[in-house]
Amino acid sequence: MALNIESVEDGVPTTDGHNNLPTETHKRTTNWWLVMMNCALTAVGTIGGPLLLRLYYLHGGSRKWITSWLQTAGFPILIIPLSVLYKRSQARGMSFIAEPKLLASSAVLGLLIGVGNFMYSHGLSVLPVSTSSLLFATQLVFTAFFAFIIVRQRFTPYSINAVVLMTLGSVLLGIRKSGDRPPGVSNAEYMVGFVVTLGAAGLLGFVLPCIELTYAKASKAINYAVVMQFQLGVMVFATLFCTIGMVVNKDFPAIPREANQYELGQAKYYVVLVSGAIVFQMVFLGSMGLIFCTSSLFAGVVTATLLPVTEIAAVIVFSEKFTGEKGMALALCLWGFTSYFYGDYRMNKKQKEAEAESK
């Protein structure tokens, strides 16, 4: 894993910003309960978010800027855990406020995420969830490529195997996708959705290593409270970008009209919107937490592993077809995740043995 975890303070890992990018082996203590918590948050968001957006489109919703906005507009819920962490840090005399350059970086990355959210929403408006998920799984390839360039991610045979297996899974699913074009969607619209979804995957693959680089370049030690402040900044600027799009497209006045005409009823329309905002906030919190605890590549592996599960959920919820290709792709992705996790386990074991021998 590329991000150096130096210590654990009161159950919250911190990173040493003075080391910049790790180019040599450092002692690391990984807080696995925090890793698992972030994996759980990522799982809920990765699986539930696309299903809620597709539910919006299937029953009468048509505003792409609204669904783009929902993916980050749930940021006010971060104020609750931040308030708890602030009181805790004040009581223990710990640093809490993130440094200005972290917040400046969050503004730039927030705008990029806003663009990626719109591309993803556009694709999901014309593609089945299963197709969108398989295309978005290619973000692992982009993440691996940009992690190698931006943060000098070290690859092992296990991590390379994971990337190859998950890529093969996506290619396998893409071989026979010509027959799943939804009714009312033209070939041109389908192809545009195909391309912009790939573009969204590529943009996320670029953003994840940039977040890791931002953490590594911090002047002060980073704890989980600072990570959440960083996410808050990213979400605010991404939401601002999408809010401007909604204003230009006159989406705010259209919300009551859509609610009245929504096939599932007005109340369920707002439930879908609010639930989507909360669920997507969970996936962003989980992903940024995983980058903090491990690396951008590991965060990409977790996301790519969950996307085939999203396809299975879409089959169950929306009666989308589950073909043999999807089953094989799911097996490849799970195999890839296991390979990566086992490789990291072996690397940690060897590191501990080397430390024990040096004493």
Residue 146 lies in a domain: yes
Residue 355 lies in a domain: no
Residue 272 lies in a domain: yes
Q: pLDDT tens-digit profile of 285-300?
A: 888 888 888 777 788 7
57's enclosing H/E stretch is helix 32-58
Nearest-angstrom CA–CA distance, 353 and 1: 18
Place of tokens 């969950």: 306
φ, ψ of residue 222 in degrees (nearest 5) = -105, 130
Residue 257 lies in a domain: yes
pLDDT at 260: 94
Residue 95 lies in a domain: yes
Residue 9 lies in a domain: no
Write out the two tokens for 255: 């919300």
Say how many domains are in the chain.
1
The phi-psi region of residue 223 (left if phi > 0; otherwise alpha if psi is between -120 and 50; otherwise beta) is: beta
Query: Residue 68: which domain range?
Result: 32-346
Percent of the chain whose predicted confidence (pLDDT) is above 70? 83
Residue 311 lies in a domain: yes
Rounded to the nearest angstrom, the gap between the alpha carbon of residue 255 and the centroid of all alpha carbons in its chain is: 27
Average pLDDT per 10 consecutive residues for the chain, totaling 359 residues: 36 43 41 83 89 90 92 90 80 73 90 94 85 76 82 75 74 60 78 88 90 83 80 93 95 94 94 93 86 79 76 78 70 75 74 75
Nearest-angstrom CA–CA distance, 72 and 234: 9
Closest CA to 215 of 142, 148, 151, 272: 151
Beta strands per DSSP E along the chain: 7-9, 12-14
Residue 17 lies in a domain: no
Cα–Cα distance list, 320 to 140, 178, 200, 233, 235 (Å): 24, 14, 23, 37, 32
pLDDT at 255: 94
User: For residues 34 and 228, is the Cβ–Cβ distance under 8 A?
Assistant: no
pLDDT at 321: 66
Closest CA to 205 of 118, 289, 287, 132: 287
Q: What is the pTM of this model?
A: 0.77
Write out the two tokens for 242: 């999408």
pLDDT at 65: 94
User: For residues 253 and 47, is the Cβ–Cβ distance under 8 A?
Assistant: no
pLDDT at 359: 65
338 Cβ contact list (under 8 Å, min separation 6): none
Cα–Cα distance list, 232 to 52, 68, 74, 251, 277 (Å): 22, 17, 10, 24, 14
